């Protein structure tokens, strides 16, 4: 019989897994930001280059990967905050130019990752950052473009 401790641990892991799943009603549509922006070691994909497995023509159905069933996991399992239900419908990363992320919190803050030089300064990006900061009641730190490790923070989106 599983101990109380291991049962509790399982429940905790299930809750974490659920928290990182896309919410019903949102899909990536024609956004391919994380398949372009991030480096994926398992695919030898450098950052800022579209993955070679992306479809030639991106449609709006969110099925943009030509080899989705065989994608390396968890490398390709990234879920941004938008797909998990944060922010408004119109805040999808490709539309506002920033990815809101809480996977690697710094100083217990969220991160806004610009997808192009200065993308964080547009009106749409600022609104998206403000909304998520309010929803989570957390500071958003704005990363430099392109994001490098160790990350260079260029400002605080919202305190
Ligand atoms: S950045 Fe978010 S919305 Fe865009 S492709 Fe990745 S998970 Fe989907
Ligand atoms: S393998 Fe598919 S899901 Fe993974 S980065 Fe490439 S296009 Fe995106």
User: Which residue's C-alpha comes closest to atom 7 of ligand 1?
Assistant: 79
Find all residues with CB under 8 Å of 107, minimum gap 6, and list them.
139, 141
Closest by CA to 31, choosing from 106, 103, 102, 81, is 81
User: Which residue's C-alpha comes closest to atom 4 of ligand 2?
Assistant: 76
| 4 CA to centre of ligand 2 in angstroms | 39
Closest by CA to 89, choosing from 27, 156, 149, 138, is 27
Instruction: Say what the pTM is.
Output: 0.88
Ligand 1 site, residue 93, Cβ cutoff 6 A? yes
Ligand 2 site, residue 35, Cβ cutoff 6 A? yes
Specify whether the CB–CB gap between 115 and 98 falls below 8 A: yes
Beta strands in the chain (DSSP E): 98-106, 109-114, 140-143, 153-158
pLDDT band per the 50, 70, 90 thresholds, residue 149: low
Which pLDDT tens digit goes with each residue over 87-97? 999 999 999 99
The alpha carbon of residue 89 and the mean position of all alpha carbons in its chain are separated, in whole angstroms, by: 15
Same domain (yes/no): 46, 66? yes
At which of 54, 78, 102 does a domain end? Answer: 78
Which pLDDT tens digit goes with each residue over 100-114? 999 876 778 999 999
Same domain (yes/no): 151, 109? yes
Ligand 1 site, residue 99, Cβ cutoff 6 A? yes
Same domain (yes/no): 72, 100? no
Same domain (yes/no): 68, 104? no
Residue 14, SS3?
helix
Which range has the worst mean pLDDT, 11-20, 30-39, 58-67, 84-93?
11-20
Same domain (yes/no): 72, 91? no
Same domain (yes/no): 69, 92? no
**Residue range(s) defining the domain that contains residue 113:** 84-159
Residue 9 lies in a domain: no
Residue 11 lies in a domain: no
Residue 13 lies in a domain: no
| 136 CA to centre of ligand 2 in angstroms | 29
């Amino acid at each position: 019989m599983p101990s109380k401790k291991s049962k509790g641990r399982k429940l905790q892991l299930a809750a974490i897994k659920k928290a990182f799943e896309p919410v019903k009603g949102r899909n990536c549509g024609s956004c391919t930001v994380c398949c372009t922006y991030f480096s994926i070691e398992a695919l030898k994909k450098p950052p800022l280059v579209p993955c070679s497995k992306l479809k030639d023509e991106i449609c709006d159905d969110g099925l943009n990967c030509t080899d989705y069933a065989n994608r390396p996991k968890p490398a390709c399992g990234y879920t941004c905050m938008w797909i998990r239900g944060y922010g408004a419908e119109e805040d999808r990363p490709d539309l506002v130019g920033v990815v809101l992320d809480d996977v690697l919190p710094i100083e217990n803050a969220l991160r806004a990752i610009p997808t192009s030089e200065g993308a964080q300064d547009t009106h749409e990006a600022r609104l998206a950052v403000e909304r998520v900061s309010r929803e989570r009641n957390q500071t958003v730190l704005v990363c430099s473009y392109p994001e490098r490790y160790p990350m260079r923070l260029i400002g605080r989106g919202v305190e």
